Amino acid sequence: MKHSIENQKSPQIAAPASPADDWKVIPSFKNLPVGRLVSWEGNELDSFIVFLDRDGDLDWKANGRFETVIASDEGSAIICRITELEAVPVSHLSEEKRIAFLSMLGQALVQSLRGQNSTAQSQLLAASDFVTIRNREVARSWLLIATASALLVVLVLAAILWVNRDGVAASFGALSPSLVLAGAAGATGAFVSLATRVTTIPLDPNAGKFIHGVEGSIHVLLGVIGGVIVFFAMKSDIFLPKLLEFQNVGIGLGCFIGGASERTIRTLLQKSGSVDHGRRAKRNHNSDRPSNSPRTKSAR
């Protein structure tokens, strides 16, 4: 935030605090790079102006009694908070939203210059909430677009393989078409799951568009893996084996559920581990049992 404080002792020139371009009657304001006026008040001896310059930055200038007001502890705290909020990245927001955010900061500064610091604090809180919500909206759109793009790639590849499923089965085994279906259904489930709970996911727009793109792609990849895991769980009678009676429809439904539910995958992995552990324990128990072969009698 650019700013200037002057303490001029020139003859007083009356200048009513009215809107439009009346601020130009103040000689020290004439050459300011005002792009959008937020507010101004006073005369040549005691005056302030708050505006957005031609580069879109918040700027201000004050002199006289307003210098004393803004230099107080309360005024300095307001200035510091405005500086902190100006550091929040807003370049990814639309021009209209950036201007709205900076104007809210400017209004807080105006209230502080008028000595109404409690009102200024409330205005800063509203500005903070505004930019946080707008940034999260952008971050959500990044994540959803990246996830949808990754899903589209998976579905296109799956469609190509499915159309040529006879050749795929001949080259990679009889189960490969079912695995293609399982992966596509799992990826779709992962996208639907993300889309339904994206408003509850803590997102940080400061991470940037690329990181959100990577995260969205990973969600789809995990959905593919989850779908494959569910398919083998169905084949092993661990998870909804009766769905296999409906062939491709059942496989697609079961794997969609698996891709949409991280909890389902964790449960399946735990069950598969328990089953394997139980089988090993049973084998070890059988190997430790005494032999059932007839005992040899000792010679007398």
DSSP, residue by residue, 13-56: ------STTGGGGSGGGTT--EEEEEEEEE-SSSEEEEEEETTS
Do both 170 and 275 map to the same domain? yes
pLDDT at 168: 87
Is pLDDT above 80 for 187? yes
More confident residue, 96 or 202: 96
Greater confidence, 16 or 295?
295
pLDDT in the model for residue 249 = 87
Q: Is the model's pLDDT at 33 over the cut of 80? A: yes
According to DSSP, the residues that pair with 3 across neighbouring strands are 60
C-beta of residue 36 within 8 angstroms of C-beta of residue 107? no
Q: What pLDDT is stored for residue 8 in this prediction?
A: 41
Task: Give the confidence band of 9 by pLDDT, cuts at 50, 70, 90.
Answer: very low
244 and 146 housed in the same domain: yes
- Does 160 score more than 90 pLDDT? yes
Q: How confident is the model at residue 109 (pLDDT cuts 50, 70, 90)?
A: very high
Residue 297 within any structural domain of the chain: no
Q: Is the pLDDT of residue 7 over 80?
A: no
Is 210 found in the same domain as 161? yes
Same domain, 276 and 234: yes
Q: In whole numbers, what is the pLDDT of the chain averaged over residues?
A: 80
Distance of CA 225 to the CA centre of its chain: 23
What is d(CA 154, CA 14) in angstroms, rounded to the nearest whole number? 71
Residues 88 and 181 in one domain: no
Q: Are residues 29 and 92 in the same domain?
A: yes
What CA–CA distance (Å, rounded) separates 199 from 168?
Answer: 40
Cβ burial, residue 51 (10 Å; 0-12/13-18/19+): buried
- Residue 12's pLDDT is what? 32
| 203 lies in the same domain as 144 | yes
Judgement on whether residues 79 and 148 belong to the same structural domain of the protein? no
What is the residue-wise DSSP string for 207-241? G-HHHHHHHHHHHHHHHHHHHHHHHHHHHTTSS-G
Position 298 pLDDT exceeds 60: no
Does the pLDDT at position 295 exceed 50?
no
- Min mean pLDDT across 59-63, 129-133, 205-209 is at 205-209
Cα distances from 176 to residues 166, 169, 183, 262, in angstroms, run: 10, 6, 10, 24
- Report, as an integer, the average pLDDT of 163-185: 89
Regarding whether 247 and 179 lie in a shared domain, the answer is yes
Each residue of 115-147: pLDDT tens digit? Answer: 899 999 999 999 999 999 999 999 999 999 999
Which tops the pLDDT comparison, 234 or 134? 134
pLDDT class of 104 with cuts at 50, 70, 90: very high
Confidence (pTM): 0.68
The vertex-74 CA angle with 69 and 14, nearest 5°, equals 20
CB 75 within 8 A of CB 5: no
Which pLDDT score, from 0 to 100, does residue 278 have?
Answer: 45
Residue 98 lies in a domain: yes
| % pLDDT > 90, the chain | 29
| DSSP state at residue 258 | H
The token pair that represents 68 in the structure block:
């004393």
Question: Cβ distance 276 to 206 under 8 Å?
Answer: no
pLDDT tens per residue, range 249-284: 888 888 888 888 765 555 655 655 544 444 444 455
Q: Residue 103: its pLDDT value, please? A: 93
Helix %, strand %, coil % of the chain (to 5): 70, 10, 25
What is the rounded average pLDDT of the residues 172-200? Answer: 89
* Whole-number pLDDT of residue 100: 92
Which range marks the domain in which residue 206 is found? Answer: 135-285
pLDDT over 80 (residue 244): no
CB under 8 Å to 4, separation ≥6 — which residues? Answer: 60, 61, 62
> Is 149 inside a domain boundary?
yes
Q: Is residue 78 part of a domain?
A: yes
Stretch 59-77: mean pLDDT = 86
Nearest CA to 51 among 41, 42, 39? 39
Element (H, E) at 62: strand 58-63
* Residue found under tokens 């004393």: 68
Domain count, the chain: 2
Q: State the Cα–Cα distance between residues 63 and 69, nearest whole angstrom.
A: 10
Domain boundary among 84, 115, 146: 115
**What is the widest separation between alpha-carbon atoms in the chain?**
137
Residue 296 lies inside a defined structural domain of this protein? no
Cβ atoms within 10 Å, residue 25: 16
